[in-house]
Amino acid sequence: MNEAIAILVVEDEVLIRMDVAGQLEAEGYQVFEASNADEAIHLLANNPSLRLIFTDIDMPGSMNGLKLAEAVRDRWPPVKIIVTSGHRIVEITDIPDGSVFFSKPYKHDAIIGSMRELLSS
């Protein structure tokens, strides 16, 4: 069997993060978790196997999910990005090229389908 694809889930709400991580692990992904952008940057810097980041926009810390997405695109261009929010509507021009946005509540199947599509490109 192939090595599991590594995904980073960045979400400050613990129950949502645990739910997303659990669903991704059930799909066979290796999941890393961060509660803010600072933790996410640290994990990305120390885990070159990470292939995709799934981040909420609104969270505490030095940067929100949109700034995190920009930082990831600048420092780790091959990493795919999915941005999500329950409080904002985001235009495609607000996120890095090639990224995907989902409003909360999102459908698990739609997220998995989008991840598979991003990871295969």
Q: What is the CATH number of the domain that holds 55?
A: 3.40.50.2300
Q: Domains in the chain: how many in total?
A: 1
pLDDT of residue 88: 82
Task: Yes or no: say if 59 and 35 are a contact pair by the CB < 8 Å rule.
Answer: yes
Give the three-state DSSP class for 39.
Answer: helix
pLDDT of residue 1: 39
Residue 19 counted as domain residue: yes
User: What averages of pLDDT result for each successive group of 10 residues across the chain (121 residues)?
Assistant: 83 94 95 97 97 95 94 96 90 90 88 93 80
The answer for residues whose C-beta is within 8 angstroms of residue 101's C-beta and 6 or more apart is 82, 83, 84, 85, 90, 92, 94, 95
Tokens 């070159």 map to which residue? 48
Encoding tokens for residue 114? 């989008």
| Gap between the Cα atoms of 20 and 16, Å rounded | 6
Residue 66 counted as domain residue: yes
pTM: 0.94
Residue 1 counted as domain residue: no
pLDDT of residue 14: 95
Which residues on neighbouring strands pair with residue 50, listed in sequence order? 6
| Gap between the Cα atoms of 85 and 49, Å rounded | 26
Structural domain of 63: 6-120
Residue 87 counted as domain residue: yes
